């Protein structure tokens, strides 16, 4: 291992790349580096995932098994729980979770634990990059002090005067922009923002990523890179809240908000469509903005847009439940005692991810009001106990005209592409559609309630 590695080393032909955290973000990244010809090791604390990967099996729906097998067989990819192997690696990329804790405050325990497991294995010339979404300052204030605690140095510096500042190791932040299930933009096509703790660290990380993505976007610091990711997600969160609020108003005014959005989206500049739904879901949009709100408090600053957007988006599952109750009421039925089928528990269409899914909340609220709730989701044959919900033993109900007709109401919570919406409407007594999934349905529209 070269002890005098310079940033240019990471332009090298074949590098040893270590990815810590082989989940939705880490695994595609690992496979992309393997595809580019590097030797990749996936590090994960979950032994079940590690053994599945080494056996060439995928545990994420949109990541093909064949791809993992290909790189395991060609010895470009393997996985381990043994963090001592980090010593042999050139570049270490951290892709561990950054959730909120019970008090909805940043839980950086995974990042901290990862930095602590790198520390005894840190070598001179190592490049370490944090990819997990987090508040500005995490790389410099949390990761750097841990990595420097054995005496090696990576000084915080900016500007051309520090272009060649001596570093024992390199440290950078580069946010992941993975959009699971997005067929148009894969990892290689998405530009990567990179900020170093100092200029050599920035150059090292840029050299590394330039080998696997179409464009690297350098920024002046890790804090700018951390903030860029939060801006992207807050932009989505606030705009989704805006259309959700306008949907509520439009419903009251008898205007079809989806028609309005499609019309507005014909403007060739200055407008970007966002669509309303039953609430926010996924690992990012409902969580990340609150990382910034939390940090802002340190600066005596209230992030009002984030709080307001959070309030509106959190109220959407309650709105759906009210819409179901009103629709049943019109048919002289009550929510209490009704038999309901919810379509789609995943947080968005065509993915096998139910983290923070609003459907989970909707089902809980419906049950709380006395409804008998069942679900169908082609991506989840059964549900289990989760941190906030207990759906232990619940199984996906197979769809058929007979089963659909047996429910008082069917709620489209997630608009998976495999659903045949014509047949769903034809067979159901009532369809409450939270996604405008039935927009092309012509027959029996009187059974559909958009909400
Ligand atoms: N999922 C997305 O679409 C997405 C997109 C952009 C950014 N992000 C961000 O990327 C980060 C990772 O998210 P994810 O969706 O991949 O999470 P994930 O839960 O799918 O994967 C995380 C992996 O890390 C492993 N892990 C946990 N603690 C570990 C430790 N101490 N050492 C090694 N491995 C450990 C887990 O076993 C798991 O396999 C988060 O910060 C998230 O906000 C996610």
- Distance from Cα 79 to the centre of ligand 1, integer Å: 15
pLDDT at 2 over 60: no
Closest CA to 194 of 167, 169, 212: 212
Give kind and range of the element (H or E) at residue 376: strand 372-376
Closest CA to 143 of 198, 72, 207, 94: 94
Cβ–Cβ < 8 Å for 328, 409: yes
Ligand 1, atom 10: nearest CA belongs to which residue?
132
N-term to C-term CA, the chain? 60
pLDDT bucket at 3, cuts 50 / 70 / 90: low
**Residue 154 bears catalytic tag:** no
220: Cβ–Cβ under 8 A, 6 or more apart, which residues? 158, 195
Ligand 1 cavity residues, CB under 6 Å: 20-26, 43-46, 49, 95-98, 110, 113-114, 132-133, 176, 178, 180, 283-284
pLDDT at 304 over 80: yes
pLDDT at 283: 81
pLDDT at 155 over 60: yes
Q: How far apart are CA 75 and CA 90, in angstroms?
A: 17
Number of the ligand 1 atom closest to the C-alpha atom of 113: 31
pLDDT at 135: 98
Averaged over 355-359, what is the pLDDT? Answer: 94
Cβ–Cβ < 8 Å for 433, 344: no
Q: How far apart are CA 121 and CA 85, in angstroms?
A: 8
Measured over all CA atoms, what is the biggest interatomic distance in the chain, rounded to whole angstroms?
A: 78
pLDDT above 90: percentage of residues in the chain = 90
Q: How far apart are CA 43 and CA 59, in angstroms?
A: 15
Write out pLDDT tens, residues 16-73: 999 999 999 999 999 999 999 999 999 999 999 999 999 999 998 889 999 999 999 9
Task: Let me know how long the chain is.
Answer: 451
Averaged over 364-393, what is the pLDDT? Answer: 95
pLDDT at 324 over 50: yes
pLDDT at 295: 97
Q: What is the mean pLDDT of the chain?
A: 95
Token digits for 77? 């990819």
- Distance from Cα 252 to the centre of ligand 1, integer Å: 41
Ligand 1, atom 26: nearest CA belongs to which residue?
21
Q: CB count, 10 Å around CB of 245?
A: 18
pLDDT at 1: 46
pLDDT at 399 over 60: yes
Averaged over 359-379, what is the pLDDT? Answer: 98
pLDDT bucket at 4, cuts 50 / 70 / 90: low
pLDDT at 102: 82
pLDDT at 87: 97
Is the model more confident about 62 or about 148?
A: 148
Residue to probe by mutation, ligand 1, list 42, 63, 97, 133, most atoms within 8 Å of CB: 97
- Distance from Cα 148 to the centre of ligand 1, integer Å: 24
Write out pLDDT tens, residues 78-124: 999 999 999 999 999 999 999 998 888 999 999 999 999 999 999 99
- Distance from Cα 26 to the centre of ligand 1, integer Å: 7
């Amino acid at each position: 291992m070269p002890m005098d590695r310079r940033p240019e080393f990471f332009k090298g032909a074949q590098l040893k790349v270590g990815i810590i955290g082989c989940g939705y973000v880490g695994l595609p990244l690992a496979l992309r580096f393997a595809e580019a010809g590097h030797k990749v090791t996936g590090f994960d604390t979950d032994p079940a995932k590690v053994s599945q990967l080494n056996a060439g099996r995928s545990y994420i729906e949109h990541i093909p098994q064949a791809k993992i097998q290909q790189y395991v067989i060609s010895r470009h990819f393997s996985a381990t729980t043994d963090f001592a192997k980090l010593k042999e690696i050139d570049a270490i990329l951290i892709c561990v979770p950054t959730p909120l804790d019970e008090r909805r405050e940043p839980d950086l325990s995974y990042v901290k634990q990862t930095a602590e497991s790198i520390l005894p294995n840190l070598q001179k010339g190592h490049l370490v990059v944090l990819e997990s979404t987090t508040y500005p300052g995490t790389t410099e204030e949390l990761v750097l002090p841990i990595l420097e605690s054995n005496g090696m140095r990576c000084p915080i510096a900016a500007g051309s005067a520090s272009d060649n500042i001596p570093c024992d190791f390199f440290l950078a932040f580069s946010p992941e922009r993975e959009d699971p299930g997005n067929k148009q933009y894969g990892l290689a096509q998405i530009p990567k923002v990179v900020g170093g703790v100092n200029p050599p660290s920035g150059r090292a990380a840029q050299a590394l990523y330039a080998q696997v993505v179409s464009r690297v976007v350098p920024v002046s610091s890790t804090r700018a890179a951390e903030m860029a990711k939060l801006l992207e997600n807050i932009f989505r969160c606030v705009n989704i809240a805006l259309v959700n609020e306008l949907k509520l108003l439009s419903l009251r005014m008898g205007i079809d908000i989806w028609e309005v959005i499609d019309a507005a989206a014909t403007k060739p500049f200055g407008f970007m469509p966002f669509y309303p739904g039953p609430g926010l879901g996924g690992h990012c949009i409902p969580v990340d903005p609150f990382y910034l709100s939390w940090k802002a408090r340190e600066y005596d600053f209230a992030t009002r847009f984030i709080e307001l957007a959070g309030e509106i988006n959190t109220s959407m599952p309650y709105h759906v439940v009210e819409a179901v109750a009103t629709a049943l009421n019109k048919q002289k039925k009550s929510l209490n005692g009704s038999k309901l089928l919810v379509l789609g528990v995943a947080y968005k269409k065509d993915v096998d991810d139910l983290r923070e899914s609003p459907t989970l909340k909707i089902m809980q609220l419906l049950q709380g009001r006395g409804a008998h709730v069942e679900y169908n989701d082609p991506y989840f044959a059964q549900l289990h106990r989760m941190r906030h919900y207990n759906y232990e033993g619940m199984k996906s109900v197979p769809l058929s005209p007979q089963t659909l007709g047996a429910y008082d109401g069917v709620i489209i919570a997630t608009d998976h592409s495999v659903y045949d919406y014509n047949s769903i409407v034809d067979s159901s007594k009532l369809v409450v559609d939270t996604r405008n999934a039935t927009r092309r349905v012509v027959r029996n529209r009187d059974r559909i309630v958009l909400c």
